[in-house]
Amino acid sequence: MRCLLRGLLGESAEKIDTLTRPDGAPSLSGGSGLYASLSHLDGYVCAALSTRAIAVDLCSYRQRTTASRILTRAGVAGECMDPAAQWVAIECAVKLRGGSVLDLLDECPQIEEQDGRFRVLGFGEPVFVAIETETTYLRGVAA
């Protein structure tokens, strides 16, 4: 995170402390007004920095079976969608709202495809997640 900040902000990055929230998400202090999100998978890292709340997630296509089982058990609605894409959308929504994947057990979210994005319902206000496909994984961003 420190390298990301330095690359984007130069010397002013030294005034910003990087902390870890209780949920494991990065937090930036020092009155920066910046938000950060990180995700990692099989040697890949996705990092985002924004002036408003932001969340990123990565999911390998190999994780489809596991994601499908978890989503089915949690009662997540979103028929005929790639389970890996659903998982990325849920993870981004949970991160954006400052929650945990354990919230799936209580919230039973719904996922809809809308205008090329995923709309996640069930964690307060709807969360819109843009998902990009790569060769071996999916990357999601919500802001």
Domain boundaries, the chain: 2-52, 57-142
Tens-digit pLDDT profile for residues 37-78: 989 998 898 988 899 999 999 999 999 999 999 888 888 866
Query: 56 exposed, middle or buried (CB, 10 Å; 0-12, 13-18, 19+)?
Result: buried
pLDDT computed for residue 77 by the predictor: 67
Is residue 143 scored above 80 in pLDDT?
Answer: yes
For residue 23, how far is the Cα from the chain centroid? 13
Quote the pTM value.
0.86
CB 69 within 8 A of CB 76: no
